[in-house]
Amino acid sequence: MFNWLKTSILMAAIMALFGVIGAMIGGKSGMLLALLFGGGMNFFSYWFSDKLVLRMYNAQQVDESTSPYLYNIVRDLAARAQLPMPRVYIINEPQPNAFATGRNPQHAAVAATTGILQLLSERELRGVMAHELAHVRHRDILISTIAATAAGAISALANFAMFFGGRDSEGRPTNPLAGILVALLAPIAAALIQMAISRTREFEADHGGAEISGDPRALADALAKIHHYATGIPMEAAEAHPETAQMMIMNPLSGRGMAGWFSTHPSTEERIARLHALARGR
Distance CA 112, CA 280 (A): 29
* DSSP state letters, 209-242: HHHHHT-HHHHHHHHHHHHHHHTTS--HHHHH-G
Is residue 74 within 8 A of residue 88, CB to CB? The reply is: yes
What is the average per-residue pLDDT within 151-171? 59
Of these ranges, 91-95, 189-193, 230-234, the one predicted with the greatest mean pLDDT is: 91-95
pTM of the model: 0.79
Give the residue extent of every domain in the chain. Answer: 2-280
Enumerate the active-site residues.
132
Question: How many other C-beta atoms are found inside a 10 Å radius of the C-beta of residue 118?
Answer: 10
Residues 16-69 have pLDDT tens digits of 777 777 777 667 777 777 777 777 766 666 676 789 889 999 999 999 999 999
pLDDT tens-digit map of 233-258 = 999 888 888 778 888 999 898 765 44
The predicted model gives 76-99 an average pLDDT of 97
Q: Higher model confidence: residue 164 or residue 79?
A: 79
- For residue 192, is pLDDT > 90? no
Kind and range of the H or E element at 203?
A: helix 176-213
Neighbours of 273 (CB within 10 A): 12
172-187 confidence digits (pLDDT tens): 555 565 556 566 666 6
Q: Among the ranges 21-25, 49-53, 117-121, 260-264, which has the highest mean pLDDT value? A: 117-121
- Dihedral angle computed from the Cα positions of residues 248, 246, 48 and 13, in that order, rounded to the nearest 10 degrees: 170
